[in-house]
């Protein structure tokens, strides 16, 4: 079997392959492990503009996903004017916004609990809506499983979302643990949490994952260059 390419069209084809098998796209709260429910999860690790493009494509297909925003990162600033506009637009399209939490920023479980609460509140201020879901960024094994909430909120690695239902991810720009169409949960008609990263998919042509990241980095540099020119005469040359 040939599988869809890593492009936006390919992504839509991948999801359609599941809806054609009887799957219905649902949010985390509504997903029932024993039903053919499909949770579309996106961790935004590198680029909010790319996430927005994916969100627009999903909305055009009639699908609602959950996008998790990383606050403690050097890659983007969710409270920049453009990012705030992007995130609010994504909500308007029907998507949910959750917190992508880097637990390694905190010394122990108690500090993480406080930090998660503070980060959720900050994100709630940014998107002007409640944040009720958390996903961990590069989680340590000790954070996986169980049924304990973090800062009173559900998290995506709880047993109900990973053990009771299927879980599949496009880590490093490939289906390293098999294509979702062939996932054990799909073959058994059980629910599936599908984690994808827009950085691997946004583009009309397939590219090597490394090239996708290089392009994202170029976009960041272009944006910083523009911002510097707007805000600093030394850079724009207007002071000479």
Pick the piece of the chain touching Zn ion (CB under 5 A) from 80-88, 124-132, 137-145, 202-210.
Answer: 137-145
**Residue with smaller CB distance to Zn ion, 23 or 76:** 76
DSSP string of 100-162, one letter each residue: EE-GGGSSSHHHHHHHHHHHHHHHHHHHTS---EEEESS--GGGSSSS--BTTBEETTSHHHH
**Residue with smaller CB distance to Zn ion, 75 or 93:** 75
| Binding residues for Zn ion, total number by CB under 5 A | 3
Phi and psi torsions of 87, nearest 5°: -65, -40
Q: Which residues is 43 bridged to in the sheet?
A: 68
- Distance CA(84)–CA(235), nearest Å, equals 26
CB atoms within 10 A of CB 60: 10
45 near Zn ion (CB under 5 A): yes
86 near Zn ion (CB under 5 A): no
**Shortest distance, position 16 Cβ to Zn ion, whole Å:** 26
DSSP state of 218: H
Residue nearest to Zn ion (CB): 137
43 near Zn ion (CB under 5 A): yes
Pick the piece of the chain touching Zn ion (CB under 5 A) from 41-49, 52-60, 81-89, 150-158.
Answer: 41-49
Phi and psi torsions of 147, nearest 5°: -130, 20
Q: Which residue in 137, 183, 190, 212 binds Zn ion (CB under 5 A)? A: 137
Phi-psi region of 114 (alpha: psi -120 to 50; beta: other; left: phi over 0): alpha
**Shortest distance, position 8 Cβ to Zn ion, whole Å:** 20
Taking alpha carbons only, the member of 88, 70, 101 closest to residue 198 is: 70
Pick the piece of the chain touching Zn ion (CB under 5 A) from 24-32, 130-138, 162-170, 217-225.
Answer: 130-138
Task: Please name the residues in contact with 37: beta carbons below 8 A apart, sequence gap of 6 or more.
Answer: 23, 24, 25, 26, 30, 31, 165, 191, 192
**Residue with smaller CB distance to Zn ion, 64 or 195:** 195
170 near Zn ion (CB under 5 A): no
**Residue with smaller CB distance to Zn ion, 50 or 137:** 137
**Shortest distance, position 168 Cβ to Zn ion, whole Å:** 16
**Shortest distance, position 192 Cβ to Zn ion, whole Å:** 19
**Given the rule CB under 5 A, which residues bind Zn ion?**
43, 45, 137
């Amino acid at each position: 079997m040939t599988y869809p390419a890593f492009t936006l069209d390919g992504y839509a084809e991948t999801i359609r392959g599941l809806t054609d098998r009887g799957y219905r796209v649902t949010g985390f709260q509504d997903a029932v492990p024993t039903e053919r429910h499909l949770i579309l999860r996106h961790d935004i690790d590198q680029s909010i503009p790319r996430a927005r493009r994916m969100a627009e494509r999903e909305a055009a297909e009639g699908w609602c996903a959950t996008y998790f925003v990383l606050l403690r990162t050097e890659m983007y600033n969710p409270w920049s004017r453009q990012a705030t506009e992007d995130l609010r637009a994504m909500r308007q399209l029907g998507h949910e916004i959750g917190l992508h939490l880097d637990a390694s920023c905190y010394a122990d479980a108690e500090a993480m609990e406080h930090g998660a609460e503070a980060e959720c509140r900050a994100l709630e201020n940014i998107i002007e809506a409640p944040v009720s879901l958390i996903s961990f960024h590069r989680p340590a094994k000790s954070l996986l499983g169980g049924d304990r909430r973090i800062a009173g909120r559900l998290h995506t690695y709880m047993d109900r979302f990973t053990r009771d239902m299927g879980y599949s991810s496009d880590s490093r720009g490939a289906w390293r643990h098999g294509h979702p169409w062939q996932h054990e949960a799909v073959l058994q008609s059980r629910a599936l949490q599908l984690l994808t990263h827009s950085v691997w998919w946004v583009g009309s042509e397939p590219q090597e994952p490394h090239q996708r990241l290089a392009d994202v980095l170029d976009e960041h540099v272009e944006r910083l260059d523009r911002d510097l020119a707007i805000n600093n005469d030394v850079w724009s040359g207007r002071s000479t």
